[in-house]
Each structure stands twice: as structure tokens, then as C-alpha cells.
Amino acid sequence: MPKVVSIRFQEAGKSYHFDPGNLKLHLGDAVIVETESGPDIGYVSEEVFDIPAERLVKPLKPVVRHVDAHDLAEHEAKKVREKEAFDICMEKITSRELDMNLINAEYSFDGKKVTFFFTADGRVDFRELVKDLAAIFRVRIELRQIGARDQARMVGGLGLCGRELCCCTFLEGFVPVSIRMAKEQGLSMNPTKISGACGRLMCCLKYEQDAYEDAHARLPKQGDVVSTVQGNGVVVSVDILRERVAVRLEREDIADLEIIPAEEVEVLMRKGKKFVPNAEHRQKQSCSGNCCLNNIAKDDAQDEEFDEN
């Protein structure tokens, strides 16, 4: 199998495979690699390993060499030029009254191209702006519109947890996140509490989603009729993390709320479904349990309406 090394061009972001050649590379090493846009500085995110040929993305670009003192000096000088380019571009955007928000400016390692990243609500006609910038820098100019998540990754910041944003520290890519995840995890539907610095749903909603989906599949749901050692009752609430359920029992016409481990209850009837007891359940049912079932049972039309709600 061919050998490859994973290279990342930013502290957080996607890693790409390169041909290590005969170089001895270690995690975190700064190297010069050959890309489609020319040479660039990258950092080893995963040391040399074997990869099946069918997973290899061809053509595989080579790692040229380790960086030296001259490369590091050029890299620092490039950062100064990027700051100057950013300020100049901001002036031109203001003078032309363009509705765009400039985020960052990046020079290529060889200095032959400068890329400006911006956000905007819609499409922006920046053709005249490109001409202005090309006349000043006399290199290839590229303007790239990015989304709110990419903006947060470039700018950085702190999340609601008090830690540095995941997207600018370790995330390799953005994963789909939906409001359904927040509902299944019992989080507040207040947008300010489930949104990140980018204004979109927090990426960390995905981290524990598989565990919540597994718990929802195993545990009783709110409204289910269940059997317990104290008698039959209806599930009032479910504590997903502790895997406990609050069951309202009926004891001599008095409602009694009990907190019971989920493993100690048995579901008799799902919410909105009719219950047809078997012989075993008939033996288990007490008077209070039968009253509970009779109070919950509905006809087919009512069941369908209950499910839709």
C-alpha cells in the first residue's frame, strides 16, 4: 500500500494527503508542500501511514522539504503584507460603497496571488474592485465569499462554554446540525442558548447525538403507560442522562409521583396507541393499574389526532 502523510494548512481545518518521499516527518513539523496553487507551508497532522490505493486521491502531491529559517522569515513577512493588503482592500470597499464585510486577506507562499475573504447577504458585483486591487498589488487577485461558520473559524473567539471555538481549534470540517438534535437533548429552544458565535446552531450538538438517539430508543417516552413494582402508571418525564423516569401512579384514587430507574419499568402502552393486554399483563394489573389504563385508552380517531399533535 502507498504511504502518505496528512498535512494541515491551518491550526484547525481539513487535512490533506501528501507523498512523504524519503523525509522523516513527525507530528507538528512545518514543511513545504507542492499544491495546485504552488508551494505552501503546511503542518504534519498525522505521521506517515499506509493507505489503501482505492482511498487515495490522485494525483498525490509531494512534500518538498522541511522549512528552514529563511522560510520562517518569509512567512512572517507575508503576514505583514497580508495586514497591509487587508487595510487597502477595506479602503477600496468603503470608497466604492460595496455591501460586503471583509474578513481576511491571504498571500500565497510564493507571493503570486492574494485572496480576500468576505461575507455578504447576497451576490456582490466586485469586478471594479478587482481591477483596483490588481493595479495596486500587480499579482493575481481572488475574492472569495464565505459563510458565517467559515467567518467564525477565521476570526476565532470563545464559545458559551468559555473555551475557544471548536471550529478554530480541532474540527476538521463542519457537520450538519439540526434543531431536532436540540429537542432530543432537551435543550432550551432559545436561539441565544443553542447558537454559536457564527449565529448558527452549535457544532457541539452533534457530539453526543448518537448517545441521545440510543437512549431515546431504549427508554420509555413521556405519556407511555408503564408497569412498575409499585403498580401501573403514566410516564410524566424522562431523565435521559440518569436514565430515570418520573411515573404518576394511581393509589386509591390519589396520584403519586415516583422517580424510578428506567430499567425497572415495563412499557405497557405507547403514547397514543391502544393497549391490548395479554394473559401475563392481566395477572400483573392491579385495580389502580386498570383504572390508569381505562383513563388513558382512547378510540382510533382520538389516537390518530393525538399522534399528529
Final residue in a domain of this structure, among 12, 35, 67: 67
Give me the DSSP letters along 122-145. S----HHHHHHHHHHH-SEEEEEE
Question: Do 223 and 303 share a domain, yes or no?
Answer: yes
**What CATH number does the domain containing 226 carry?**
2.30.30.30
Nearest to 46 by CA among 58, 63, 69: 63
Query: 224 and 162 in one domain?
Result: no
- What does DSSP say about strands 30-35 and 266-269: parallel, antiparallel, or unpaired? unpaired
Would you put residue 178 in left (φ > 0), alpha (ψ -120 to 50) or beta? Answer: beta
Give mean pLDDT, residues 166-188.
87
CB burial readout 273-283, b (16+ within 10 A) else e: eeeeeeeebee
Is 293's pLDDT higher than 80? Answer: no
To 10 degrees, what angle do helices 69-95 and 127-137 make? 140
Edge-to-edge order in the sheet of strand 140-145? 101-107, 113-119, 140-145
Domain that holds residue 172: 150-210
Q: What pLDDT, on the 0 to 100 scale, is given for residue 254?
A: 61
Residue where a domain terminates, one of 191, 210, 229: 210
Q: What percent of the chain stands above pLDDT 70? A: 86
| Share in percent of the chain as helix, strand, coil (round to 5) | 35, 30, 35
- Calculate ∠ Cα 78-100-148, nearest 5°: 80
Peptide bond into 220 cis (omega under 30): no
My answer on whether 304 and 237 are in the same domain is yes
pTM for this structure? 0.68
159 and 203 part of one domain: yes
Q: What is the mean pLDDT of residues 170-179?
A: 86
The total of other beta-carbon atoms located within 10 Å of residue 70's CB is 8
- Which of the listed residues 146, 164, 192 is the one where a domain comes to its end? 146
Over the stretch 214-252, which tens digit does the pLDDT of each residue have? 888 888 888 888 888 888 888 888 888 888 888 888 766
Query: How many structural domains does the chain have?
Result: 4
